[in-house]
A and B are shown apart, each in its own frame.
Chain A
């Protein structure tokens, strides 16, 4: 079977539109919630795919940005729901329950964190980079655990989902719509980026950094920019994820989550536009259906993953299109 990647992409988008509508008609709100989870995880993984897929940087610490996005939402909404002032030194605010502002704050803070982590860890490459990003992720994890003001280990509960003008976000289908629209926006950005001079240069950095330098570009600057953009997108996903669960806790920073984000991309296909989306849908489906059969579904996930790594190069998209690499 040899399918064109564009057909697969189109089918995926159509499925993500049609299935929730079916679930709405069939009165299956839980299916919509599951799909919202898949779409948000996909969004986080699309962010990671910029550095991992295009730039070839294996970041094992993207949970840091996911968590920062989550806590940005948690802290702003917590102050808004308890009517307490949030003292930021230069000025105080009362927090907010307004989604666009929360998203913006989540993206800026996680982008800032990404520039800090990136500046330090991009000095290295290969295995060092993997371990250092992992270690920075853990740093945020332990910080969140000891941050007693915002719940420490127990996390923060937000009682009512935040608002978006003109929509009732408490209805699963409307919140799904928001997440889906954001995913489409970011996918469009990813596609544009991949074809842009910046994306091409980044891609070239992955393949031959020395050549990129010889033609007068600065690989470090390219990588750092990609890292910051990637962190900001993953942070946005974190804010949405927190809104989906109406709960943030240090587990959003856990290293397992960083690993899972990489897994999503690899299941679908590294560097592919829709790789993370397919990966996230498969992952959430596996989690749901295998989780119903056995409590130990991670064993099966592990075996599936091993098989993908050892035998199935190119992920599901690679399998369907018959092309191993995304960059052929």
Chain B
């Protein structure tokens, strides 16, 4: 176990973490502003990935594919918000869960209907393929490094949007007192559609970016969705900062656990058993992390309300 391997794994964990953040940021914003639990967020991730794969296949341009992913996911989000989600803001959580569960079924099977069951492939653009040498002589894939950069840039952009712009003021006001900002003349339903579309676009972007290193297929969104839930439970529901910290924690725990736990068990077990026990425990690692955080702080690290 060399230090190069450790740094590589930390970078992998960071890359996984920032992509989770793109998902979790949208989820937590939507919950914070509208009080809605959106299970169909993973479907928007899938919509982004499929749109990117389709456009990249037709035009060969990765940049156009990313634009298509953002546009398709934002559009799908806006339509879903106006047709279905809007009716659910005042509904009990059970209704929200069910309606968005129904949306997953419609999105997933609808996509299977249009694109078939076989996975699509989205190629890494030539300019970003291949490894790059980092200081210290570490060879690391340029594309993954770019993902970390994009994720961090989005995090900064989102912070600036929420803290430094007029729209951000409205979003924060919407979290605190929706009657009041409606009374002050803000068109609240337009704001809700906008926030939902913003969250959807972030999910679509994540889907397209990750789609290039994994395959693009139906059902790709749900595992990520559940991890994003773990992230926002850890970070505190409604807190974008919490989502960022939580996403990095989950990304690092998952990646490092998978590599180091088997090694750890090898110290006092024979190889095969250590591999088995280690990987079994590693797959549960983030849930253990979630449990520990909840025992310590039932509303998450940065959560204000239950």
Interface residues of A (CB under 8 A from B): 52, 58, 60, 120-121, 123-128, 130-132, 134-136, 138-139, 142-143, 145-149, 255, 259, 262-263, 266, 270, 296-299, 301-303, 305-306, 308-310
Binds A, one of B48-56, B58-66, B109-117: B109-117
Contact with A along B105-129 (1 / 0, CB 8 A): 1101110110000000000000000
Judged by a CB distance under 8 angstroms, whether B274 is at the interface is no
Judged by a CB distance under 8 angstroms, whether B99 is at the interface is yes
Q: Which residues of A contact B94 (CB under 8 A)?
A: 52, 58, 262, 266, 270
Contact in complex: A255, B222 (CB < 8 Å): yes
Q: Which residue of B lies closest to A60 (CB)?
A: B97
Q: Which residues of B contact A60 (CB under 8 A)?
A: 97
Contact in complex: B93, A127 (CB < 8 Å): yes
Contact in complex: B99, A310 (CB < 8 Å): yes
Contact with A along B74-116 (1 / 0, CB 8 A): 0000000000100110010111011101111110111011000
Contact in complex: A124, B109 (CB < 8 Å): no
Q: For the complex, what is the distance from the CA of A296 to the CA of B113, rounded to whole Å? A: 7
For residue A67, give the distance in angstroms from its CB to the closest CB of chain B. 14
Q: For the complex, what is the distance from the CA of A125 to the CA of B93, rounded to whole Å? A: 11
Interface residues of B (CB under 8 A from A): 31, 37, 84, 87-88, 91, 93-95, 97-99, 101-106, 108-110, 112-113, 222, 226, 229-230, 232-233, 237, 276, 279-280, 283-284, 287, 290-291, 294-295, 298-300, 306
Contact in complex: A124, B306 (CB < 8 Å): yes
Contact in complex: B106, A146 (CB < 8 Å): no
Q: Which residue of A lies closest to B99 (CB)?
A: A309
User: 12 more A-B contacts (CB under 8 A) besides A130-B37, A298-B105?
Assistant: A127-B37, A128-B298, A128-B306, A138-B226, A143-B283, A296-B109, A296-B112, A296-B113, A298-B106, A303-B106, A306-B84, A306-B106
Q: Which residues of A contact B226 (CB under 8 A)?
A: 134-135, 138, 255
Q: Which residue of B lies closest to A139 (CB)?
A: B287
Contact in complex: A310, B298 (CB < 8 Å): no
Q: Which residue of B lies closest to A125 (CB)?
A: B306
Q: For the complex, what is the distance from the CA of A146 to the CA of B281, rounded to whole Å? A: 9
Q: Which residues of B contact A148 (CB under 8 A)?
A: 276
